[in-house]
Amino acid sequence: MAGKNLRAIRKKMKITQVQLQVATGIEQASISKYENGERVIPTDTLMLLAEYFHTSTDYLLDLTDDPTPPQKK
């Protein structure tokens, strides 16, 4: 289920959906839908979340269990 890692990293950092909304401008309802796998995360939002959480987009898409961000070239 896509969104599992998004929820996990948000909870690990002890951030509520509302706090994430305030920090990123992403609507709380959208965050909830991403976490529940009800909506696909748009590319620009995915990149914003990856930068905010210092992780990879693959991790947020549940394509890997490794939250380590990719190395910049």
How many Å apart are CA 63 and CA 14, to the nearest integer? 23
Q: Which CATH number covers residue 28?
A: 1.10.260.40
14 phi/psi in degrees, rounded to 5: 60, 45
Residue 49: enclosing H or E segment and its boundaries?
helix 43-53
What is the number of domains present in the chain? 1
Residue 1 has pLDDT above 60, yes or no: no
pTM listed for this prediction: 0.89
Q: For all residues of the chain together, what is the average pLDDT?
A: 93
Helix (H, G, I), strand (E, B) or coil at 5: helix
Residue 44 lies in a domain: yes
pLDDT tens sequence across 34-61? 999 999 999 999 999 999 999 999 999 9
For residue 54, what pLDDT is reported? 94
